Amino acid sequence: MARIVHGNHPFNVPKDKPMRIGHEQVGYFTYPDIEYLGSSDLNCMFISTDKLTLGYYEFQGGGQFDPPDHHPGDECYYILEGQLTETNYYSGQACTLNPEDVLLIPHGAAHGGHNFSDHKMKAVFALAPNMVKPGDQTFPTDLEGKARVLNSEDEEKVERYQAVEEKKYIASIDRLGNWPIPDEANRVMPKYLKVNHPSDRMDVVVGKDNPYLMRFAFSTKYINFGELIVPRGGHGCRITEPESHKGQTAIYVKSGVLCFIITETRETFKIYPGEVMYIPENCEYQMMNYEDSRATAVFAISEL
């Protein structure tokens, strides 16, 4: 496969149509690019439009990616396996994440990663609206050598920030767009990284007669990201009620099998673990579980 095109992957596929994205359509790229391959990680791209990007990346034990990265969109990680330590290169903040933890990196926040364990780390990542500046194929390297770490010779030269206290809010539908903190707090320098553990999710029941569960890790101005659980059926299959979103949706199946039906065209898609379903904006769909166990997935929605 040729080099992926940020903002247009998979190649030559209209982004206004729903589609299944399997392993045969995954595009690969490294961060950093060619001049820093010795300190890079392997990225696997499922979908990249002008409004939403979703993929996963693998990070070897003992690894580090450098120089620090920053994006024009909000970015989320969902840890599938292994352990990751992510750092904010403006503040020196470090966060260690384990499986099912979710990280929010506000747009513009400079971040780098370490894997201090002996095992590979794998995480689903999503960004909205963009991973790189529109029309750009390269990642910024302007922060090379500027990490804030203890015992750094540059520590005396950097700006220092006052301690910040975060309030804890009760999870409810009213917090959508501002979960787990008010969105404006994500935009203040040094744009601290935020960690959401499984016990911190905002659980939202979707649908009255045929409910399923959405577990929001983060809901900001730019991205909604978390897990969804579609239980098995009883007498017949479980089918969710019709829904659509103002923004684009990408759903990565973790376990079980999910079927999607597009209500207007009756197109039907069957999505296995490790595959992705892409739903364009304002496209009505329903999810179906024909299996004997629940289906779990990671979702990224640019606008609810």
Q: What is the pLDDT of residues 205-263, one digit of tens each?
A: 999 999 999 999 999 999 999 999 999 998 889 999 999 999 999 999 999 999 999 99
Write down the architecture of domain 19-196 according to CATH: Sandwich (2.60)
CB 110 within 8 A of CB 69: yes
Q: What are phi and psi of 197, to 5 degrees?
A: -90, 160
CATH code linked to domain 198-301: 2.60.120.10
CB 85 within 8 A of CB 96: yes
Q: Where are the domains of the chain?
A: 19-196, 198-301
Structure confidence at residue 1 (pLDDT): 61
**Which residues fall within 8 angstroms of residue 69, CB to CB, at 6 or more apart?**
31, 32, 110, 111, 112, 139, 140
Kind of pairing between the strands at 94-97 and 27-31: unpaired
Residues 199 and 207 sit within 8 Å (Cβ to Cβ): no
Alpha-carbon gap, residue 216 to 246, rounded angstroms: 17
Per-residue pLDDT tens for 180-211?
Answer: 999 999 999 999 999 999 999 999 999 999 99
From residue 227, give the alpha-carbon distance in Å to each of 84, 131, 273: 19, 21, 14
276 vs 161 pLDDT, higher one: 276
What pLDDT score was predicted for residue 272?
98
The Cα 200–Cα 142 span in angstroms is 35
Q: Residue 62 pLDDT more than 90?
A: yes
Quote the pLDDT of residue 84: 97
| Both tokens assigned to 255 | 């376990």
What residues contact 113, with CB distance under 8 A and at least 6 apart? 41, 59, 63, 64, 65, 84, 85, 86, 87
Among residues of the chain, what percentage have pLDDT more than 70? 99
Identical topology for domains 19-196 and 198-301? yes
Give yes or no for residue 164 having a pLDDT over 70: yes
Backbone angles phi, psi at 211, to 5 degrees: -75, 150
Whether residue 99 is preceded by a cis peptide bond, meaning omega within 30 degrees of 0, is no
